[in-house]
C-alpha cells in the first residue's frame, strides 16, 4: 500500500474504515462511551465532513495503487502543529504496520511544511492509542495551561460523552 492524498472517490470509504477500526475497542472490552454495548451503533464521522480537509491537502489515505483505501489520517494545522483529527486503519489491514507508516508520513509532512510538531487527543489506557503514539515520540501534555487548543478538543470530547479521565492530549515536537 502507498500513502497518497485522498481523492473524492475515497470519501465514501472513510466511515467504513472508521467504524471498522472502532470495533477493536469493543472486541477488547474497551468502553468508549459510558454504557455502550456491542449492539450500540458506532459513532462515526460522515464522509462529507472530510471534504474541506481533503481540499486543504490534509487528508491522506493508504491504498493499493488501484484499490480502495485501507487507512486514513485527517489533520488540521493549529498552533503551528499538524493536529491529527482522525487516524484509522481498517481491521482487515491492522497488524501490518500501515498505521506506523501513515503516522511516519504525517510526521515527515509536518517537517516538510516547517511545522513545530504534531498533536492529537487519544485514550490513555488502550495499548494501541497513547502507548503507540509514545513509541513514535509523542508525549502526554499533563499541564492544562500548556495544552492550548488541545484543551478545547478534550472539552468537546467530554461534552460528547468521552470520559475525560481516560483521554489525553499528546504532542510530538519537531
- Over the chain, what HEC string results? CEEEECCHHHHHHHHHHHHHHHHHHHHCCCCCECCCCCCCCCCCCCHHHHHHHHHCCCEEEEECCCCCEEEEEEEEEECCEEEEEEEEECHHHCCCCHHHHHHHHHHHHHHHCCCCEEEEEEECCCCCCHHHHHHCCCEECCCHHHHCHHHHHHHHHHHHCECHHHEEEEEEEC
Split into its structural domains, the chain has a count of 1
What is the average pLDDT across 80-104? 90
CATH of the domain at 20: 3.40.630.30
Is residue 157 a contact partner of residue 129, using CB atoms and an 8 Å limit? no
Q: pLDDT digit string (tens) for 143-168?
A: 776 678 888 888 888 888 778 888 88
pTM of the complete model beyond 0.75:
yes
What is the average pLDDT across 116-135? 87
Q: pLDDT digit string (tens) for 4-40?
A: 999 999 999 998 888 888 777 666 666 555 555 556 5
What is the average pLDDT across 54-82? 93
| pLDDT score of 43 more than 80 | no
Q: How far apart are CA 137 and CA 165, in angstroms?
A: 22
Q: Range with the lowest mean pLDDT among 35-39, 53-57, 72-76, 158-162? A: 35-39
Residues 6 or more apart whose Cβ sits within 8 Å of residue 64: 1, 2, 70
Its domain, for residue 66, covers 2-173
Amino acid at each position: 500500500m502507498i500513502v497518497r492524498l485522498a481523492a473524492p472517490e475515497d470519501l465514501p470509504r472513510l466511515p467504513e474504515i472508521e467504524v471498522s477500526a472502532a470495533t477493536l475497542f469493543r472486541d477488547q472490552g474497551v468502553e468508549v462511551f459510558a454504557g455502550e454495548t456491542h449492539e450500540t451503533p458506532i459513532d462515526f464521522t460522515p464522509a462529507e465532513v472530510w471534504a474541506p480537509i481533503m481540499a486543504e491537502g490534509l487528508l491522506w489515505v493508504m491504498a493499493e495503487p488501484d484499490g480502495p483505501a485501507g487507512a486514513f489520517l485527517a489533520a488540521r494545522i493549529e498552533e503551528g502543529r499538524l493536529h491529527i483529527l482522525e487516524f484509522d486503519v481498517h481491521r482487515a489491514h491492522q497488524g501490518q504496520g500501515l498505521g506506523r507508516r501513515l503516522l511516519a508520513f504525517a510526521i515527515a509532512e509536518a517537517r516538510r511544511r516547517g511545522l513545530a510538531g504534531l498533536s492529537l487527543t487519544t485514550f490513555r489506557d488502550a495499548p494501541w492509542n497513547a502507548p503507540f503514539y509514545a513509541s513514535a515520540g509523542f508525549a502526554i501534555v499533563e499541564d492544562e495551561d500548556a495544552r492550548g487548543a488541545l484543551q478545547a478538543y478534550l472539552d468537546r470530547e467530554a461534552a460528547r460523552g468521552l470520559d475525560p479521565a481516560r483521554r489525553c492530549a499528546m504532542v510530538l515536537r519537531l
